[in-house]
Amino acid sequence: MKSMTTLFKSVIFLLPFALFLGCELISDDDQDKICKDNQLDSPEDQLLHYYMLFDKYGYYPETDHILFNAVSVEFQGTVVLKDCYELASTYHTFERTVYVKESIPPDAITYECHVTQDLLFTFHNNHEYLTIEYTIMAFFEDGAAYTSDVVVKNSDQYTYLHQQTKPIEIYLYVDSSIKWTKIR
């Protein structure tokens, strides 16, 4: 009788794990099917350009420190191609410094900054997408400097990206979701 109770307790204890593993296997099989069904006939190379947009009256570190008044603004980040299983398959890093007074006309209200050179990615599946992680640093004439938290943005899946003009252009916006820290 004691062994029956132990066996029953073991089965009750292990049942959730067995169900979890079974669900994982089904989930993996489903993902395999999705990936196989969305495989491209042949790999497609695509050039991508990332642009950062900011405006004169946007959201910035402090009201007396807006990006339009900065001496320089630095963009640093990584663009990662995520495969159908959401694993990183290819990545590029970038770093771009904009000298604001030399780059932005005095009467401008918005500014579009090309932050990456041509980035070449090879897509194999319609469910692949890009993730960009970046930070912004801004330096001002009064010696103040700010850095943003790391910002993470995902692109649409390749199904939608490849319908755009070539090279594919992706725009990122400096907005209220970006948090700033004063570093000096």
Tens digits of per-residue pLDDT, 101-160? 788 887 888 888 888 878 999 999 999 999 999 999 999 999 999 999 999 988 888 877
The three-state (H, E, C) secondary structure of the chain, written as one string = CHHHHHHHHHHHHHHHHHHHHHHHHHHHHHHHHHHHHCEEEEEEEEEEEEEEEEECCCCCCECCECHHHCCEEEEEEEEEEECCCCCEEEEEEEEEEEEHHHHCCCCCCEEEEECCCCEEEEEEECCCEEEEEEEEEEECCCCCEEEECCEEEECCCHHHHCCCCCCEEEEEECCCCCCEEECC
pLDDT digits (tens, 9 = 90+) for 22-51: 444 446 788 889 899 989 999 999 888 888
Per-residue pLDDT band for 54 (boundaries 50, 70, 90) equals confident
Confidence band for 15, pLDDT divided at 50, 70 and 90:
very low
Domain boundaries, the chain: 1-37, 43-182
Residue 4 pLDDT level (bands cut at 50, 70, 90): very low
pLDDT in tens, 75-98: 999 999 999 898 998 899 999 998
pLDDT at 61: 72
